[in-house]
């Protein structure tokens, strides 16, 4: 890829929240804390699942992959955004913008598919408990995880390459917090009608296909839970599903508002806030949602902490 790609734009300027200079210092402090907590929380989940062999089952291995995605997503957006908040004129190179868009789409698309695979795992565990080890064996798990990452990679490679094949010969100011596709495309000085049709269709498929799978899985799960004779069994089933449903609501709600909205429906500031919701809050809240609502995770964290304390005291 040539640096300027037949265009006069060699770098972009990320405007971020430059309309509110008086708030940028406070925002920097808040976002830095959120980023550090996000990294710590997701690293803790990945480490606990890696070190505790009792958690080496599909439910937690899916969660481990989700934490990898959330860490990558947050790291793709947050460091650059912190630079934007501390700079009068925050620039990002043409190649840097390409890379940031690529990883935003990669982690976002992969998360869509992973959440769908996690819903299928919960469906198999609750609706077919006796057959669950056969339905969700190691080969099926690996296939679902691999397909999630490959699907995200293929979609991302095609879309990002296409976006940066357009000429950018006018303004180079991106009125957003990162190089997200809709914000960058506003600067393209050519007709992007066919790309918009492709992008909208692809986004609908990427968002709606896993969402339909999630919806169908939870309809079946709901009927199965209602048929359970034991109140304790129903509560346990609801508890294992609640964390996943919360993550789905957070991620799909904000991502669909960003990528499936009409062009002029929201103001630039509103778009930035919606982008923050899934690039900042979702990676932050997922570790809290899963660890606080899951007894096995809390037990594993306590066990590893006690083991660490014992090693230091002996």
Q: Which CATH architecture has domain 11-260+272-301?
A: Up-down Bundle (1.20)
Exposure string over 253-263, b if 16+ CB within 10 A, otherwise e: ebbbbbbeeee
Domains in the chain: boundaries: 11-260+272-301
Least confident of 85-94, 184-193, 263-272: 263-272
| Confidence (pTM) | 0.87
Question: Can you read off the two tokens belonging to residue 271?
Answer: 């778009």
Cα angle, residue 77 at apex, residues 281 and 81 outer, rounded to 5°: 95
Are 14 and 174 spatial neighbours (Cβ–Cβ below 8 Å)?
A: yes
Pairing of strands 11-14, 91-93: antiparallel
Q: What are the backbone dihedrals phi and psi of residue 91, each rounded to the nearest 5 degrees, phi first?
A: -105, 155
Q: Residues 24, 29, 35, 41: is their CA dihedral positive or negative? A: negative
Cβ neighbours around 149 below 10 Å, total: 17
Q: Is 29 left (phi over 0), alpha (psi -120 to 50) or beta?
A: alpha
Name the one residue in this structure whose structure tokens are 């599909």.
58
Count of alpha carbons within 13 angstroms of residue 205, beta-carbon side: 9
pLDDT score, position 263:
57
Tokens 């940066």, residue located: 164
**What are the pLDDT digits (tens) for 239-250?**
767 777 777 777
CA distances from 178 to 71, 88, 284 (A): 16, 16, 18
Sign of CA dihedral 190, 191, 195, 201: positive
Tell me the per-residue pLDDT of 257-272, one tens digit each, with 9 for 90 and over.
666 665 556 677 777 8
Q: Write the pLDDT tens digit of every residue in 138-170.
A: 999 999 999 999 999 998 999 999 999 999 887
Coil, strand or helix: which one is 14?
Answer: strand
């Amino acid at each position: 890829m040539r640096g300027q790609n037949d265009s006069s734009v060699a770098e972009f300027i990320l405007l971020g929240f430059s309309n509110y200079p008086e708030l940028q210092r406070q925002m920097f402090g808040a976002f830095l804390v959120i980023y550090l907590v996000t990294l710590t929380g997701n690293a803790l989940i990945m480490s606990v699942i890696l070190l505790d062999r009792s958690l080496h089952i599909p439910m937690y291995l899916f969660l481990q992959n989700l934490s990898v995605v959330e860490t990558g997503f947050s790291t793709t957006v947050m460091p650059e955004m912190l630079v934007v908040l501390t700079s009068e004129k925050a620039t990002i190179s043409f190649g840097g913008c390409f890379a940031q868009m690529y990883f935003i789409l990669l982690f976002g698309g992969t998360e869509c598919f992973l959440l769908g695979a996690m819903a299928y795992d919960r469906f198999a565990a609750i609706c077919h408990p006796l057959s669950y080890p056969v339905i969700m064996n190691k080969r099926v798990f690996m296939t679902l995880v691999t397909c999630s990452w490959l699907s995200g990679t293929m979609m991302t490679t095609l879309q990002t390459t296409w976006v940066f094949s357009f000429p950018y010969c006018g303004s180079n100011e991106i009125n957003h917090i990162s190089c997200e596709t809709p914000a960058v495309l506003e600067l393209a000085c050519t007709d992007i009608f066919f790309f918009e049709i492709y992008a909208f269709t692809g986004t609908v498929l990427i968002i709606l296909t896993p969402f339909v799978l999630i919806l169908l899985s939870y309809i079946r799960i709901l009927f199965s839970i209602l048929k359970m004779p034991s109140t304790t069994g129903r509560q346990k089933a609801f508890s294992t599903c609640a964390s996943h449903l919360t993550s789905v609501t957070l991620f799909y709600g904000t991502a669909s508002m960003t990528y499936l909205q009409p062009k002029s429906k929201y103001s630039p500031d509103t778009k930035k806030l919606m982008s923050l919701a899934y690039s900042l809050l979702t990676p932050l809240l997922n570790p809290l949602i899963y660890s606080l609502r899951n007894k096995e995770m809390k037990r594993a964290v306590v066990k590893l902490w006690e083991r660490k304390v014992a090693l230091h005291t002996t």
